[in-house]
Structure 1
């Protein structure tokens, strides 16, 4: 698919009305910059009437720079599906929160974590932590968020997501296994090699996409989605056409309807080419 021409004019008949894209490792490279070819292709897609939806594990504050770079005006799927909001207006369309039972279970886990795992809790636009080692500072700098240091987890309400940040991949995989065994009422996902996310039960990007499509009265068959990590698998499966980034996780490539080029080659641009009919749909496993 790589290299397909996406230069089309207004009135183009679209194969897919929406393109839903993950950010990190999909639209955004490891230097946190939007891949130019993908950015320009999405702008072309919007110019011919398509809608672009970002679906990310990032918070609103962390996602906003990419949303603004594309000039988007609609909803974004945030916090791995726990929040759907319009970043232009600030309107929250849908929000899922940990219930009391789930938070009690998660808190018991959080308060017994080893020193190589730290916790960041998301409450609305706030990111909270009681322990902030160097790798949490690095995460905050990378995502351009401010983390509030608090004394304890008392009187915390309205939690949408709990992140367990490992100092390394071994720590993250170890605590993910513990969370899957001991935390109740939550969905456990790994969005990056050292990021373990605890979401309200039943929440993921795919569930969020189904909600948003129903809200906007767009058929799922009219939606193409693209991602690179296991937390994107529900998104790809919910969409009418799910595409894996070429250098994405094997689990994602196995679940996809097609495999695009790598992130740096412009995987999202490949999806645009299909959506606007400038390239044929590809068989699974064909870059």
Structure 2
């Protein structure tokens, strides 16, 4: 084990925004043992305060499902993979034809833009609540790294099943919100595994020496690529089916338990 790659939400971070003391200690022990640590998330760079403030992470974070590699100490984008406006418009047109009630948002390197109707009426915002607007090419400020589509009925698996046959050849398509029919779309061929492989190669680390943790469909490729890919027992059935290994549930400090056991094995060796 030379590198630990971990998803954030639902894997180490709870709905209350906290990371357990045991998990924090496990990551710090791994860092003290010389293990490289990278967090790999669907979150944008501006949503990284939990790992900065609670774990004290001062390294690299792979954001937006692999579209952005970000240096936390300098708050600088190291690499990015962008969506062009023509693809955004084409995908929007196809999804709207299939699900007229769908509403869309864009995550760019400079900000977040949601069109009117994207947020649930009277409910919590998906992402950051902004003034309702219509998506335009000018919103590609700094480059688009993620497109989102939501319907306020059904679930994400059903929505994905509906649109994937028509847009799967245009854009990378996944989801990670357990209670919303929200799809996350990025540049074709880009996912967490692609960005993690690039990062590991830059450190001279082979996949066989990577331990990865995740809980949702946007983690599937990463869990398959890593030499030891652990799906959380509390995770999505598709993630559990795709991973060769299972970590205890989030509520049971599953990530911490695996890290502790692997560090203990390294010490015995």
TM-score class, shorter: 0.7 to 0.9
Matching residue of 2:108: 123
Matching residue of 2:145: 160
In the alignment, structure 2 segments of 5+ residues that lack a partner are none
Q: Distance in 1 between matches of 2:119 and 2:170?
A: 30
Aligned residues of 1:190 and 1:230 also touching (Cα < 8 A): yes
Q: Distance in 2 between matches of 1:91 and 1:196?
A: 27
In the alignment, structure 1 segments of 5+ residues that lack a partner are 1-15, 281-287
Matching residue of 1:114: 100
Q: CA-to-partner distance for each residue in 1:224-258, whole Å, 9 max, x for gaps?
A: 00111121111111112111111212222233232
1:244-255 matches, within 5 Å, as 244-255=231-242
SS of equivalent to 1:94: strand
SS of equivalent to 1:259: strand
Q: Does 1:182 align with 2:166?
A: yes
Aligned residues of 1:110 and 1:119 also touching (Cα < 8 A): no
SS of equivalent to 1:107: helix
SS of equivalent to 1:76: strand
Matching residue of 2:244: 257
Answer 1 or 2: higher relative contact order, Cα 8 Å, separation at least 6.
Answer: 1
Q: Distance in 1 between matches of 2:79 and 2:215?
A: 25
Aligned residues of 1:61 and 1:125 also touching (Cα < 8 A): no
Query: Which of the numbers 181, 199, 203 marks the counterpart of 2:186?
Result: 199
Matching residue of 2:51: 66
Q: Distance in 2 between matches of 1:173 and 1:264?
A: 24
Q: Distance in 2 between matches of 1:252 and 1:177?
A: 16
Aligned residues of 1:54 and 1:67 also touching (Cα < 8 A): no
Aligned residues of 2:197 and 2:207 also touching (Cα < 8 A): yes
SS of equivalent to 1:114: coil
Query: Which of the numbers 112, 122, 130 marks the counterpart of 1:147?
Result: 130
Q: Distance in 1 between matches of 2:37 and 2:240?
A: 22
Query: Which of the numbers 209, 234, 238 marks the counterpart of 1:222?
Result: 209
1:48-127 matches, within 5 Å, as 48-109=33-94, 114-115=100-101, 117-127=102-112
1:128–1:256: structure 2 CA closer, same or farther, 3 Å change rule?
same
Aligned residues of 1:59 and 1:125 also touching (Cα < 8 A): no
SS of equivalent to 1:243: strand
Q: CA RMSD in A?
A: 2.4
Aligned residues of 2:65 and 2:191 also touching (Cα < 8 A): yes
Aligned residues of 2:106 and 2:146 also touching (Cα < 8 A): yes
Q: Distance in 2 between matches of 1:96 and 1:278?
A: 38
Q: CA-to-partner distance for each residue in 1:244-281, whole Å, 9 max, x for gaps?
A: 1112122222332321211011111122124313499x
Q: Distance in 2 between matches of 1:110 and 1:247?
A: 30
